């Protein structure tokens, strides 16, 4: 098994964390070195262009980012991609596409990201939504159980991840689920844990789904560059709206009704920090320059995970073993982290931190995240530390 040295491309982060084994790539992924240059480029462009900066961003930077994302998702309509500082902004904006005087009926899971979970719970308190949360575990029966819930009532929104944040479980039957959802129901796929991690194509459903993602994790670009792919020619008019949403109609005479752009701009908010777009584009250009695609990245990370799991078998741990492993590993279709279900998850997270190993945990789930800035030496060091703390 040969591991190429991708570490060199993350030298800034690695230099600042020489004594750290960072196995939280699923949470706070190291940034590529080129992102620092991109930040400086943004500053320089701002100084040079001043009042013309936004013209450059709107005509050059944003389309480049949109095209990059469309390639990763294998979709045609790059102009159907909107940007925001975070995905929570998009979630609430999507909620406001519906009649606010009627309860919104939502089908989702018990394993969605925190802002969505919190927001829906708060709206439940207000009597604004009815939420049906399907348990993801046991994974073997998830798709069938989720599909059966679709048959019971008419939902306004179906919201689910294709890789779940608390297990790395990948929904292999997503297409079958989408096929069963009525045309009038909004479909939102949270792809944050799959975007630029797992090869995927949404070409078949690009006229049907909304897709959420961002740069903070596997796009290696940092915060502030989240996106929403929107179906072409959709008729939604989100009530939570900012002035960007009227691009294309700004120079036209305003009618009595609030105007919206015909493309993804209808889901934009207002003025934001565009530096994340510069970072993201720099990452995409760099990956192309070294011929590193998502298939190769995914294969590399899965090999690292398999090496880790093989080494675990050799230490015969009563804690870190396949029995306590929550992440399905029967094939390579899984997220880029490994999750153990442990009553003592917080304890072992603390013990690992004392040994300069960075992981994270959610409840009883301890997560180890792998990235292309790891190699077999990092796995060996991690195994030695695990043997030490158990």
The answer as to whether 81 is a domain residue is yes
In a domain, 249, yes or no: yes
More confident residue, 332 or 127: 127
Q: What is the CATH number of the domain that holds 350?
A: 3.90.1150.10
Q: How far is CA 108 from CA 111, 150, 154, 357, in A?
A: 9, 10, 13, 34
Whether residue 2 is contained in a domain is answered as: no
Q: What would the pLDDT profile of 53-92 be if each residue is shown by its tens digit?
A: 999 999 999 999 999 999 999 999 999 999 999 999 999 9
The number of angstroms, rounded, from the C-alpha of 365 to the middle of its chain's C-alpha atoms is: 19
What six digits make up the tokens of 51? Answer: 């009042």
pLDDT per residue as tens digits for the range 120-159: 999 999 999 999 999 999 999 999 999 999 999 999 999 9
Res. 253: pLDDT tops 70: no
Mean pLDDT on 195-224 = 97
Residue 249 has pLDDT above 70, yes or no: no
Share of the chain above pLDDT 70, in %: 97
Q: Rounded to 5 degrees, what are φ and ψ at 296?
A: -70, -40
Domain that holds residue 356: 7-30+293-389
Helix count (H) and strand count (E) of the chain? 12, 12
Flag whether pLDDT at 2 surpasses 70.
no
CA nearest to 39, candidates 192, 222, 219, 217 = 222
Let me know whether 251 and 309 are in one domain: no
User: Residue 12 has which token pair?
Assistant: 């800034």
pLDDT tier for residue 332 given thresholds of 50, 70 and 90: confident
Residue 1 included in any domain: no
Judge contact between 162 and 194, C-beta under 8 A. yes
Those residues whose C-beta lies under 8 Å from the C-beta of residue 93, and which sit 6 or more positions away, are 238, 240, 241, 267, 269
pLDDT digits (tens, 9 = 90+) for 262-311: 999 999 999 999 999 999 999 999 999 999 999 999 999 999 999 999 99
Residue where a domain terminates, one of 249, 272, 287: 287
Please indicate, yes or no, whether residues 275 and 135 belong to a single structural domain of this protein: yes
Same domain, 272 and 365: no
Same domain, 22 and 97: no
Q: How many domains does the chain have?
A: 2
238, 320: one domain: no
**228-254 average pLDDT score:** 85
Q: Read off the pLDDT band of 327 (50, 70, 90).
A: very high
Whether residue 95 lies inside any domain: the answer is: yes
Are 20 and 60 in the same domain? no
Residues 189-196 have a mean pLDDT of 98
For the chain, the 3-state helix, strand and coil shares in percent, each to the nearest 5, are: 40, 15, 45
Q: How confident is the model at residue 330 (pLDDT cuts 50, 70, 90)?
A: confident
Same domain assignment for residues 273 and 299: no
Looking at residue 34, its pLDDT comes to: 99
Tokens encoding 129: 């939504």
pLDDT at residue 77, as a whole number: 96
Residue after which a domain boundary falls, among 230, 265, 287: 287
Please give the Cα distance from 129 to 349 (Å, whole number): 36
The whole model's pTM is what? 0.96
Mean pLDDT of 97-110: 97
- Which pLDDT belongs to residue 256? 74
Q: Quick check: is 307 in a domain?
A: yes
Could you tell me the two tokens for 228?
């929403």
What CA–CA distance (Å, rounded) separates 133 from 161?
12
Q: Could you tell me if 15 and 89 lie in one domain?
A: no
CA distance 362 to 192: 17
Q: State what percent of residues in the chain have pLDDT above 90.
A: 94
In this prediction, residue 3 carries a pLDDT of 67
What pLDDT is recorded for position 254?
61
Q: What is the pLDDT of residue 255?
A: 64
> CA 283, CA 25: separation in Å to the nearest integer?
16
Q: Degrees (nearest 5) of the Cα angle 13, 197, 60? A: 75
Residue 176, domain CATH:
3.40.640.10
The CB density around residue 260, as the number of other CB atoms within 10 Å, is 19
Average pLDDT of span 18-34: 97
| Mean pLDDT of the region 25-31 | 97
Do 230 and 299 reside in the same domain of the chain? Answer: no
* Domain-embedded: residue 320: yes
What's the pLDDT at 257? 87
The answer to the question of residue 239 being in a domain is yes
Residues 73 and 26 in one domain: no
Domain limit, last residue, from 260, 287, 314: 287
Whats the size of the chain, residue-wise? Answer: 390
Over range 344-365, report the average pLDDT.
97
Q: What is the pLDDT of residue 205?
A: 97
Of 229, 243, 275, 302, the closest CA to residue 43 belongs to 275
Rounded to the nearest angstrom, the gap between the alpha carbon of residue 318 and the centroid of all alpha carbons in its chain is 32
pLDDT over 70 at 387, yes or no: yes
Q: Based on the fold, state whether residues 201 and 329 are members of the same structural domain.
A: no
Question: 143 with 207, same domain?
Answer: yes
């Amino acid at each position: 098994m040969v591991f190429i040295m991708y570490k060199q491309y993350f030298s800034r982060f690695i230099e600042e964390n020489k004594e750290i084994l960072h196995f939280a790539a699923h949470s706070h992924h190291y940034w590529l070195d080129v992102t620092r240059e991109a930040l400086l480029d943004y500053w320089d462009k701002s100084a040079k262009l001043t009042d013309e900066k936004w013209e450059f961003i709107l005509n050059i930077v944003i389309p480049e980012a949109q095209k990059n994302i469309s390639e990763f998702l294998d979709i045609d309509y790059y102009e159907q991609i909107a940007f925001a500082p975070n995905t929570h902004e998009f979630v609430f904006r999507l909620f406001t596409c519906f009649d606010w005087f009627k309860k919104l009926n939502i089908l989702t899971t018990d394993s969605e990201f925190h802002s969505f979970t919190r927001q829906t719970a708060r709206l439940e308190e207000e009597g604004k939504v009815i939420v049906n949360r399907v348990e993801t575990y046991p994974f073997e029966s998830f798709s069938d159980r989720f599909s059966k819930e679709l048959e019971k009532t008419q939902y306004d929104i179906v919201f689910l991840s294709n890789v779940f944040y608390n297990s790395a479980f990948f929904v292999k039957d997503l297409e079958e689920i989408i096929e069963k959802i009525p045309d009038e129901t909004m479909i939102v796929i949270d792809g944050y844990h799959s975007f630029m991690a797992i090869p995927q194509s949404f070409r078949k459903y690009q006229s049907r789904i909304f897709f959420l993602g961002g740069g903070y994790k596997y796009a290696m670009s940092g915060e502030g560059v989240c996106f929403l792919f929107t179906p072409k020619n959709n008729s939604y008019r989100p009530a939570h709206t900012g002035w960007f949403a009227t691009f294309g109609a700004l120079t036209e005479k305003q009618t009595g009704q609030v105007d919206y752009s015909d493309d993804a701009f209808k889901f934009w908010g207002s003025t934001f920090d565009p530096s994340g777009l510069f970072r993201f584009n720099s990452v995409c250009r760099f990956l192309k320059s070294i011929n590193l695609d998502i298939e190769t990245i995914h294969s590399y990370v899965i090999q690292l995970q398999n090496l880790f799991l093989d080494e675990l078998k050799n230490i015969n741990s009563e804690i870190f073993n396949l029995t306590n492993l929550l992440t399905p590993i029967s094939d390579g279709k899984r997220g880029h982290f490994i999750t153990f279900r442990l009553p003592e998850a917080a304890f072992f997270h603390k013990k690992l931190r004392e040994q300069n190993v960075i992981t994270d945990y959610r409840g009883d789930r301890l997560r180890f995240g792998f990235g292309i800035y790891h190699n077999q030496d990092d796995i060996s060091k991690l195994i030695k530390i695990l043997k030490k703390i158990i």
